[in-house]
Amino acid sequence: MKLVNFELQGKTCLGTVKGDAIVETPLALDEILSRVSEPFHADLETGRRVIPLDRARLRAPILHPGKIICVGRNYAEHARERGAEIPTQPIFFLKSNNTICGPGDSIVIPPTSQQVDYEAEFAVVIGKSGKQIPEDKAYEHVAGYTIMNDVSARDMQSADKQWFRGKSCDTFAPIGPWMVTKDEIPDPHSLRISLTLNGQTMQDSNTANLIFRIPFLISYLSRSMTLDPGDIISTGTPEGVGASRTPPVFLKPGDSVSITVEKIGTLTNSVAAP
């Protein structure tokens, strides 16, 4: 099941994607997230209005996540291209939720940065609260998966000597185009992930190359914090980021960035001036 937020007559609605249409659902997001964490329920796809997909303005599938938790250097080749050692334990950082935007929205370059970079990432959406979660129970807390672009201002990162401000500018976390429930992706560690910039492939890898896998990440995080429905864990980016190219490639107004993850779809965003 593909869960989507969309605009209809000036109102944000929740629905499921069925072929080339969206079926509006009367259920609230929190209810759906908690229920899809359990075995699949067909009644979640029971809806009201049907809207052609190509006539709907899609929004981020999770509009107000409580936490956006990102994993740094979780692909070995990306760590190497950044001149860093391959981590022996996960590196986490947070993005603030003002960063969230949806498919088709613009990534806005802040006036304080000249080095805005892209990062294709596979993201996990938490569906059921938990703390001290054993690895073998981790998937019980997953609602589904989506795509995130962990947009990063490299000059801010360098100036601050840490990542929060450079990762948390407005529009720096496009997600979507929808959330795919976990029953449709039984193995999240075998998915091709790629990014194109103006049609040119810049990143092309597979989630099989993740250093730290999803059950471990969930269990590790939950040892020190409660994970709540709607929290997003973005699992890291593969090699090919713009800052590591010769010469470097940074986003500029008018660019188009598309991330494709197998079994989910494609998230496309334009780039705009401040």
Q: What is the pLDDT of residue 115?
A: 98
Q: How far is CA 156 from CA 116, 212, 226, 239, in A?
A: 9, 27, 30, 20
Highest mean pLDDT pick, 36-45, 78-87, 257-266? 257-266
**Three-state DSSP state, 129:** coil
Q: Per-residue b/e over 178-199, b at no fewer than 16 CB within 10 Å?
A: bbbbbeebeebeebebbbbbee
Q: What is the mean pLDDT of residues 213-242?
A: 98
Tokens 């800052």 correspond to 243
Is residue 211 left, alpha or beta, with left meaning phi > 0 and alpha meaning psi from -120 to 50? Answer: alpha
No. of helices (H) and no. of strands (E), the chain? 5, 19
Judged against a pLDDT cut of 60, whether residue 194 lies above it is answered with: yes
DSSP structure class, residue 105 = P
CB of 185 closer than 8 Å to CB of 142: no
Cα–Cα distance measured from residue 236 to residue 122, given in angstroms and rounded to the nearest whole number: 7
Q: What is the domain partition of the chain in residue ranges?
A: 60-272
Instruction: Select the CATH number that applies to the domain covering 60-272 from these four: 3.40.50.970, 1.10.1520.10, 3.90.850.10, 3.40.1000.10.
Output: 3.90.850.10
Cα–Cα distance measured from residue 233 to residue 148, given in angstroms and rounded to the nearest whole number: 10
Judged against a pLDDT cut of 90, whether residue 9 lies above it is answered with: no
**Three-state DSSP state, 254:** coil
Is the backbone peptide bond immediately before 177 cis, with ω within 30 degrees of 0? yes
From the number of C-beta atoms within 10 Å of its C-beta (0-12, 13-18, 19+), residue 144 rates as buried
pLDDT band of 39, cuts 50, 70, 90: low
pTM as predicted: 0.96
pLDDT band of 29, cuts 50, 70, 90: confident
Q: What is the pLDDT of residue 67?
A: 98
